[in-house]
Amino acid sequence: MSKGKLIVVSAPSGCGKGTILGKILKDKKRFYYSVSATTRKPREGEIDGVHYIFMTENDFRQKVAENAFLEHATYCGNSYGTLSAPIDEHLNAGQNVILEIEVQGAMQIREKRPDAHFVFIAPPSLDVLRDRLTGRGTEDPEIIAKRVIQAELELSYQHFYDYCVVNDDLKKAISDFLAVVRAIELRVEK
Ligand code: 5GP
């Protein structure tokens, strides 16, 4: 059996990353979603061990000290990290491992894992992203403005990635994402 591929996926908030990955990750045989650790409080409906491994600041620091993270970063005041242990186990089992992380963490993986592939999911434009973030109607304008600035910053990292899927139309974005994964699977390892 051939090894799976390590695939890092980043996208600014509001790009539909969750929806795209949600569809793709239904194929549990082909994909393993790496569940990150975070110090952020669970949102409604989020389950410990499924969406994230929720940790206290102290537990997180302890894991950093133990060198348990492949990468970790602070995002909007909370810590997030990818635990190293399960990754190679799933790659060796032939599954593609998806790391859904922000750009600073992705840059760390670039240094540490030459076998990783990098996919960016982008909005069609910043205006569309602004509309999408506003359209959620759940956040006040100040938070939306902060998110737009954060999104702009993250978009500037796009050129560090190997592939970019533009989410203009969800169906097309899913099919493009699967095309990228297929290309990664067929790549000849150097
Ligand atoms: P949220 O709090 O909205 O679930 O995630 C905030 C950001 O943290 C998203 O961009 C998400 O991709 C990123 N993120 C989630 N898990 C990790 C992780 O393990 N490492 C890093 N560096 N970023 C993560």
Tens of pLDDT, residues 53-82 = 999 999 999 999 999 999 999 998 999 999
For residue 76, the CA-to-ligand 1 centroid distance in Å is 10
pTM of the model: 0.94
The response to whether residue 101 sits with its C-beta less than 6 Å from ligand 1 reads yes
For residue 19, the CA-to-ligand 1 centroid distance in Å is 15
The response to whether residue 14 sits with its C-beta less than 6 Å from ligand 1 reads no
In-domain check, residue 152: yes
The response to whether residue 102 sits with its C-beta less than 6 Å from ligand 1 reads yes
Q: Please state the domain count of the chain.
A: 1
Per-residue pLDDT tens digits for 157-176:
999 999 999 999 999 999 99
In-domain check, residue 1: no
In-domain check, residue 27: yes
CATH label of the domain that carries residue 54? 3.40.50.300
Per-residue pLDDT tens digits for 112-156:
999 999 999 999 998 888 888 877 666 678 878 888 888 899 999
For residue 101, the CA-to-ligand 1 centroid distance in Å is 5
For residue 183, the CA-to-ligand 1 centroid distance in Å is 25
Q: Which of 38, 35, 60, 39 lies closest to 49 in space, CA to CA?
A: 35
Q: Whose C-alpha lies nearest to ligand 1, atom 12? A: 101
The response to whether residue 95 sits with its C-beta less than 6 Å from ligand 1 reads no
Mean pLDDT of the chain: 94
Range of 109's domain?
6-186
In-domain check, residue 89: yes
